[in-house]
Amino acid sequence: MKILLVGSGGREHALGLGLLADPACTSLHAAPGNPGIATFAQCHAIDITSNAQIVALAQELAADLVVIGPELPLVNGVADDLRRLKIPVFGPSKAAAQLEGSKTFAKEVMSDAGVPTAHSFTCTTQIQIEKALDCFGPPYVVKDDGLAGGKGVVVTQDRQEALAHALACKRVVIEEYLNGPEVSLFGISDGTSILAMQPAQDFKRAHDNDEGSNTGGMGAYSPLSWAPSDIVDDTYTQVLAPMIAEMNARGTPFVGLLYAGLALTDHGIRVIEFNVRFGDPETQVLIPLLKTPLATLLYKGATAGLSDTVLEWRDEAAVTVVLAAQGYPTAPQCGGHISELPTIENVQIFHAGTCLNGQGLIATGGRVLSVTGVGSDLTEARDRAYRAISQISLPGSFYRSDIAFNASVAEKGN
């Protein structure tokens, strides 16, 4: 099977390795890819904000499967264009991608499907905004309705700040604050069946102890030894299955990866958000742990063939730590030189924002690398990830030192 993988981040690097490890994948192409992906796949320098360029490449390659990494091409409707040409694609239609593209739409579908989430108001005027803020009180949760590249959500005790953010959005969702640990749980769907993956936890804040700004994610780990043992079943029953049924009933079936961002509150599971693609950096811990051959799995997802599939996992743990450029997430400095990457057993270094120039590897994005360690438990996986990342130098760069720390301590106590 010839596969075209669209995207250029750490997530795509991990997906690419997973796809290639499946013997069913005989040829792997990436668009545009990155220097890490280029070590094992053929990269094509196209503009992935252009549906026409993605479609033309898939046709030229005669791809048997197209896997879309990032949300933007999905929200742009590239999956519809590919399906129209009968090219199997793992990724939702434009209509189904609105689950990530519009928070109001996601709330409507959740409401119709009976999926538990925070109470919310969608507002467009200052009067509505102030009423909603005062209805819930602090901490205030204010979300830009549209795609905002991870910068759309403000959670604050400060009413002024909440109001200012809300007024800066065209349409804004103001919602109840959910108290409890956050979990990312992904479902792989062919439109009617959905398979729940094992949960992961992402670290969204820039600095240790969850201080600093919200980011795209500074690290992740899986499995979650502290989570309730029925979390996967509960999420399947209360969230994933009803969402797939509701999207079907609306005539806009969801094919692809449904990412449920959950809060585990005292009152049970609540959905914080949906994304319509693999999470980054959660993918960098889940793919190394997944035993089920990935290319076959995603092909089945793309071709309504998942009903008999069961996911299998390695009995190991994985921890990923993100190396971020100075100034991330507000004003990341690009252009820094990255030292030679170490080769360590049970460690995978995924490229997230890099390019090669005459002098070697250069940082091109806020999140530069994502370093995953795999081990028999979280402590071993952590040690490996941190040993590797400590050997990489990029002037001004930083990483969190507490990724999976509490969970590794909790695991030891079990």
Residues found near ligand AMP in the complex (CB under 6 A): 118, 141, 143, 153, 155, 175-178, 182, 204, 214, 261, 272-273
For ligand AMP, the closer of residues 143 and 300 by Cβ is 143
Quick one: 35 or 217, whose CB is closer to ligand GLY? 217
* φ, ψ for residue 80, nearest 5 deg: -65, -45
Report yes or no: 120 and 178 within 8 Å, Cβ to Cβ. Answer: no
Comparison of 29 and 351: residue with beta carbon closer to ligand GLY: 351
262, 217 Cβ separation under 8 angstroms: no
Q: Which stretch binds ligand GLY (CB under 6 A): 12-20, 249-257, 277-285, 313-321?
A: 277-285
Stretch that binds ligand GLY, among 103-111, 154-162, 274-282, 287-295 (CB under 6 A): 274-282
Nearer to ligand AMP, 243 or 294 (CB): 243
The CA-atom distances, in angstroms, between 403 and each of 184, 201, 268, 300 are 15, 10, 25, 34
Considering beta carbons, is residue 1 or 220 the nearer one to ligand GLY?
Answer: 220
Q: Is 348 helix (H, G, I), strand (E, B) or coil?
A: strand
Residue 314: count of CB within 10 angstroms of its CB: 11
CA neighbor of 230 nearest in space, from 199, 202, 261, 201: 199
Told to check if 280 binds ligand GLY by CB under 6 A, we report yes
Contact flags string 293-332 toward ligand GLY, x per CB under 6 A = ----------------------------------------
- Asked if the bond preceding 139 is cis, omega within 30° of 0, the reply is yes
Q: Smallest distance from the beta carbon of 44 to ligand GLY, in angstroms?
A: 24
Give residues with Cβ within 8 angstroms of 70, minimum separation 6: 6, 7, 9, 11, 48, 277
DSSP 8-state class, residue 366: S
Distance of alpha carbon 310 from alpha carbon 196, whole angstroms: 9
Q: By CB under 6 A, tell whether 92 contacts ligand GLY.
A: no
**What tokens appear for 92 in the block?**
């939702």
Among 7, 10, 88, 217, binds ligand GLY (CB under 6 A): 217
Residue 175 binds which one of ligand AMP, ligand GLY, none, with CB within 5 to 8 A depending on kind? ligand AMP
Q: Which is nearer to ligand GLY, 53 or 275 (CB)?
A: 275
Binding site for ligand GLY (CB under 6 A): 202, 216-217, 275, 279-280, 282
